[in-house]
A = this chain, B = another copy of it.
Amino acid sequence: MAESLNRTGGERDPSGPARRRLSPAERLPQLLDAAIEEFAERGYAGASMAGAAARAGVAKALLYHYFPGKAELFKAVVRACIQPVFTEAQRLVDAHAGSQAELVRVLIELGYARVTAEPRQGVVFKLLLAEADRFPELAAFYHAEVLSRGLALTRAVVRAGVESGEFRPEAVDDPGLAAVLMAPIAMASVWRIMLGPDQAPSPEAMCRAHLALALNGLRRR
């Protein structure tokens, strides 16, 4: 397993007009996309600015024109990738009309669906896990923007279910319960990223089991 750091990078097209000048509004997403790819493939420390630039078909120095350095680029990538996740969940919650049990089902299914449908998000999530302890700022960001938000959303749903009489009253505002409910979805994503779709536990199977266990476990007896 010698590290064959083949610096093939991205190929630029020498035939085309090598140097097109774009507005930042157009260039930024390009750079972020390329950076996601580079970080996802090599990890934070393993990623190179030159590699990211090459993937975008751009000179390395241009990256430094848009971002102060590697760390800031990384944070920008994370922000761009993680934020949409909970927006959708919140939308579902706000739009929901039926029973709370049904809402729990919809949310859990949404989570597992994203695991299979949005691998890129999973990669960034894994990257975040991998690097957070070396970047306190990033850990704080993750805590505030991802975990806290997810936990708050989950607790709100559970609380509503308790108040409507569907769920066991002890479940209300249990600080650990929300975490236990979210964790399998997060792990499904992590496992899939690290082991690949074949070896990882099937998200569909986990979804079924998760639904059965959660709804059974929450239900008032």
Contact = CB atoms under 8 A, between A and B. Distances in A.
Interface of A: 1-3, 41-46, 69-71, 126, 128-135, 137, 139-140, 142-143, 147, 151, 168, 170-171, 174-184, 186-188, 190-191, 193-196, 199, 201-202, 204-210, 212-214, 216-218, 221
Which of A140, A180, A182 counts the most chain B CB atoms within 10 A?
A: A180
Contacts of A46: 44-45, 134
A70 B139 CA distance: 28
Contacts of A143: 195, 199
Contacts of A2: 69, 71
A204 B179 CA distance: 11
A interface, over-half SS: helix
B209 A176 contact: yes
Contact of A201 (B45, B131, B179): B179
Contact of A179 (B69, B186, B187): B187
Contacts of A218: 213, 216
Contact of A183 (B168, B184, B195): B184
A182 B205 CA distance: 14
Contacts of A194: 128-129, 132-133, 139, 142
20 contacts: A1-B135, A3-B71, A43-B43, A43-B44, A46-B134, A140-B199, A142-B195, A174-B205, A175-B205, A176-B204, A176-B206, A176-B209, A178-B201, A179-B201, A180-B206, A183-B186, A184-B184, A190-B190, A216-B218, A216-B221
A45 B171 CA distance: 43
Given A43-B134, A126-B133, A180-B213, 7 more contacts: A1-B137, A126-B130, A133-B193, A142-B194, A174-B205, A212-B217, A214-B217
Contacts of A135: 1
